[in-house]
Amino acid sequence: MTQHFIVIGNPIAHSKSPKIHTLFAAQTGMDISYQRQYCPNDADSFTAVVEAFFYGGGVGANVTVPFKQIAYAFCAARGGLSAHAKIAGAVNTLLLNKALLDKGVPLAEAIYGDNTDGQGLVNHIKSLNWPLTCARVAIIGAGGAVRGIILPLIESGIATVTIANRTVSKAVELVEELSTASTVIDEQQIKTCSTAELEGSFDIIINATSIGLSDDKLPLSHDLNCQYAYDLMYGRPLPFLQHFEARGAQTSDGYGMLIGQAALSFERWTGHRIDVTKATEDLNKS
Ligand code: NDP
């Protein structure tokens, strides 16, 4: 029997998720339908779309811009949140909490939220054989994406992390908030500074700003170096990666993270593990 999945967003026409999940289904021999689901940008519409989907027999849903925080509040009041979703303050994966359903909780109250974005990034970096254990990492940005990646990075055993942001106060507040919310995140392990002040040599520098959407350039110090540069953005030439490529670093854009987070959502829903390296090769060929 066909199992049904959706990705909810606004806009949504550009989403690559149906293509990625259809490939995962082919890899695992599953019969699935995965559709893009447009939703008006308000919490009531999101609730109506999600409830209609799960009452209609849907198995799982992805959530993308601008609904990740709305999905967080929705799940917090219903079927609960994973540890990664709690720290991220955002949900990208919806599924039914079977333990609650078994207790007789109504389906609408059993919708559970996870966040696979950060672990998707970590899995992508590891799949390229970049060791994260003991790595000195710098992250540029202090928005929603950084909330999602910081716990999985720390859990993977990195040594230190510096968070640099255009607005330094937002980086400071983020570190205070995250270290209060999680016993794994130690404030002492995280430095903060402005983007222009970020200097020195790092194993990995991650651009987690949304600057790639504009023509602006990050004010990167001449004394800033890394072995590996990662930009969470993908799908266009990225000046951040070009800058470090010219200095001899290896680079990746965020397409691998997109596939990595999708693979983890697929695994949560179906129990099937995805060979992400093979899936990435197949997607690049298609
Ligand atoms: P937010 O809007 O929450 O945060 C934006 C961040 O970018 C802030 O730190 C902001 O700094 C900084 N910024 C924006 N414009 C500039 C600029 N002109 N100069 C310097 N800094 C700037 O965005 P998100 O955290 O949600 O997303 C960040 C990026 O991550 C996006 O490009 C998104 O597409 C990507 N992403 C990729 C994923 C993937 O699967 N590959 C998954 C999730 C996100 P300030 O605080 O000073 O305003």
User: Is residue 209 a known part of a binding site?
Assistant: no
Task: Return the pLDDT at 157.
Answer: 95
Residue count of the chain, please give it: 286
Q: Give me ligand 1 centre to Cα 270, in Å.
A: 31
- Tell whether 261 is in a known binding site: yes
Give per-residue pLDDT as tens, 39-53.
999 999 999 999 999
Kindly state the tokens that stand for 176. 């205070």
Fold assignment, 3-115+258-285: Rossmann fold (3.40.50)
The answer to whether the beta carbons of residues 52 and 34 sit under 8 Å apart is no
Q: Residue whose CA is closest, atom 6 of ligand 1?
A: 209
- Name the pLDDT band for 231 (thresholds 50, 70, 90): very high
Do 182 and 152 touch, CB atoms closer than 8 A?
no
Among 166, 198, 206, 213, say which to mutate for ligand 1: greatest number of ligand atoms within 8 Å of CB.
Answer: 166
Q: What is the pLDDT of residues 75-89, one digit of tens each?
A: 999 999 999 999 999
Q: Provide the annotated active-site residues.
A: 68
Q: Which residues contact 37 (CB under 8 A, 6 or more apart)?
A: 6, 7, 8, 9, 12, 49, 53, 61
HSE toward the beta carbon, residue 193, CA cutoff 13 A:
14
State how far the Cα of 120 lies from the Cα of 260, in Å rounded to an integer: 4
CA 156 to chain centre: 15
Is 115 a pocket residue for ligand 1 (Cβ < 6 Å)? no
| Residue 206, ligand 1, Cβ within 6 A | no
CATH number of 119-252: 3.40.50.720
Distance CA 73, CA 89 (A): 9
Nearest to 158 by CA among 90, 92, 210, 230: 230
Nearest C-alpha neighbor of 194 from the set 165, 223, 160 = 165
pLDDT at position 153, please?
96
Interface TM-score (ipTM) > 0.95: yes
The mean pLDDT value for 170-183 works out to: 94
Residue 188: band (very low, low, confident or very high) from pLDDT cuts 50, 70, 90: confident
Angle at 207 between CA 206 and CA 208, to 5 degrees: 105
Q: Indicate if ligand 1 lies below 6 Å from the C-beta of 16.
A: no
Q: What average pLDDT does range 233-259 have in this prediction? A: 95
Which residues, in sequence order, are bridge partners of residue 7?
36, 62
The 3-state secondary structure of the chain reads CCEEEEEEECCCCCCCHHHHHHHHHHHHCCCEEEEEEECCCCHHHHHHHHHHHHHCCCCEEEECCCCHHHHHHHHHCCCCECHHHHHHCCCCEEEECHHHHHCCCCHHHHEEEECCHHHHHHHHHHHCCCCCCCCEEEEECCCHHHHHHHHHHHHCCCCEEEEEECCHHHHHHHHHHHHHHCCCCCHHHEEEEECCCCCEEEEEEEECCCHHHCCCCCCCCCCEEEEEEEECCCCCCCHHHHHHHCCCCEEECCHHHHHHHHHHHHHHHHCCCCCHHHHHHHHHHC
Q: From the CB of 142, is ligand 1 less than 6 Å away?
A: yes
Residue-wise pLDDT tens digits, 97-152: 999 999 999 999 999 999 999 999 999 999 999 999 999 999 999 999 999 999 99
Determine phi and psi for 135, rounding to 5 degrees: -75, 145
Atom of ligand 1 nearest to the CA of 209: 7
Using pLDDT thresholds of 50, 70 and 90, give the confidence band for residue 191: very high
Q: Across all residues in the chain, what is the average pLDDT?
A: 96
Domain with CATH 3.40.50.720 in the chain: 119-252
The verdict on the CB of residue 194 being under 6 Å from ligand 1 is no
Is the pLDDT at 214 greater than 90, yes or no? Answer: no
The boundaries of every CATH 3.40.50.10860 domain in the chain are 3-115+258-285
pLDDT at 234: 93
